A = this chain, B = another copy of it.
Amino acid sequence: MKAFITGGAGFVGASVADFLLSQGHSVTIYDIREASSEPSAKAPKAPIEPLPAMQFIRGDVNDLPALKAAMAHHDAVFHFAANSDIALGAYDTSIDLQMSTIATHNVLEAMRKSDICSITYFSGSGVYGDAHGSEMREDAGPLLPVSLYGAGKLAAEGLISAYSHLFGMDALIFRPANIVGGKQTHGVIFDFVRKLRTNPYQLEVLGDGKQTKSYIHISDVIEAIHLAHNHHGSAWAAQALGEAASVSEHPGVTVYNLASADEVSVDWIAQTVISHMKLSDVEINYTGGASGWPGDVPVIRLSTEKLRSVGWRPQLSSKEAITMAVQEILSDKTEF
């Protein structure tokens, strides 16, 4: 299979690229990779070696002619390019419209022109809005996001669904919890490590520290993509699992929540980072409020019954995923 990965220089995209390469597929990474301060646009922490099966194209998903030219002759698209800074949308109200909604429209247009029928998209729990702690299943509605990041993800889901039905594509849409791992370039662990390396005596925590969310390790995410694709009838996934492909000519659109079973608080993460950095006497200053930033959802709970029904089980709990990610980040010698 020839895979085309938008945002493939970012944390999740690069991990998926690594996985697909390890399975013998060829991979094209398409990423803007500007030397900007935007974390998701940074070069990967551990640059992927240029293998014969891998090519890297520096390009913008909002440059439709370039995207079309790059995407031709691929078999499947994995679409990760997006704004990753949820808080930014409250100040730059166009960024998610451009980077999620219009960008996804461009990806789908390029697929249509190139007759590519398979898309894997990473949406997010943000589409559910603030469910006030209720555990959300994939069939919950109405979907009323409280951030423009969530609105952009919801718009992208709708576009993918409509294109799939109109033009015979099929799609896997994941709504993940917070994904953590050694190569991550943003997020709460990354922020805490960065802040404590700058000042090991004080740690600013956004909100009241009681925000409670599920965290999932990138290794469990990769396994979910693999198993869901196998269940969906994607020949490459069945092949890698040593199984026959399911008989499903046009499987349509399927949405999966993706989370570990438990949730942890931001306070617990702060203490874990402090402890692993062997610091003591760190003064924690809370910015206050139940939300870390405008559009933050204090408590997120996702049902993963549907993903479990295709055989997926997370190997790590939220606590284990956080602990492993903290160790991986601290053992990474790259400066950030």
Query: A: which residues have CB within 8 A of B?
Result: 89-90, 93-94, 97, 101-102, 105, 109, 112, 127, 129-130, 138-148, 150-152, 154-155, 157-159, 161-163, 165-166, 253, 255, 294-295
Chain A interface SS verdict (over half) = helix
Give which listed residue, B127, B138, B161, B294, contacts A146 with CB less than 8 A.
Answer: B161
Given A93-B112, A101-B101: A143 in contact with B158 (beta carbons within 8 A): yes
> Min CB distance, A112 to chain B, in Å?
7
23 A/B residue pairs, CB under 8 Å, sorted by A: A93-B112, A97-B105, A129-B165, A139-B140, A139-B141, A141-B142, A142-B157, A143-B143, A144-B161, A144-B255, A145-B165, A146-B161, A146-B162, A146-B165, A146-B166, A148-B159, A148-B162, A150-B158, A151-B159, A151-B161, A151-B162, A152-B158, A165-B295
Given A165-B146, A166-B90: A151 in contact with B141 (beta carbons within 8 A): no
The answer to whether A145 touches B129, judged by C-beta atoms less than 8 angstroms apart, is: no
Given A142-B255, A145-B161, A155-B155: A166 in contact with B129 (beta carbons within 8 A): no
* Count of this chain's copies in the oligomeric assembly: 2
CA distance in complex: A229, B277 (Å) = 55
6 nearest CB pairs, A to B: A155-B155, A141-B141, A151-B158, A154-B158, A146-B165, A144-B161
Residues from chain B with a CB closer than 8 A to the CB of A294 are 166
The answer to whether A144 touches B253, judged by C-beta atoms less than 8 angstroms apart, is: yes
CA distance in complex: A208, B257 (Å) = 38
CA distance in complex: A97, B101 (Å) = 9
Residues from chain B with a CB closer than 8 A to the CB of A129 are 161, 165
CA distance in complex: A208, B158 (Å) = 27
Residues from chain B with a CB closer than 8 A to the CB of A147 are 162, 165-166
> Min CB distance, A95 to chain B, in Å?
12
> Min CB distance, A143 to chain B, in Å?
6
> Min CB distance, A128 to chain B, in Å?
9
Given A253-B144, A255-B142: A162 in contact with B102 (beta carbons within 8 A): no
> Min CB distance, A121 to chain B, in Å?
12
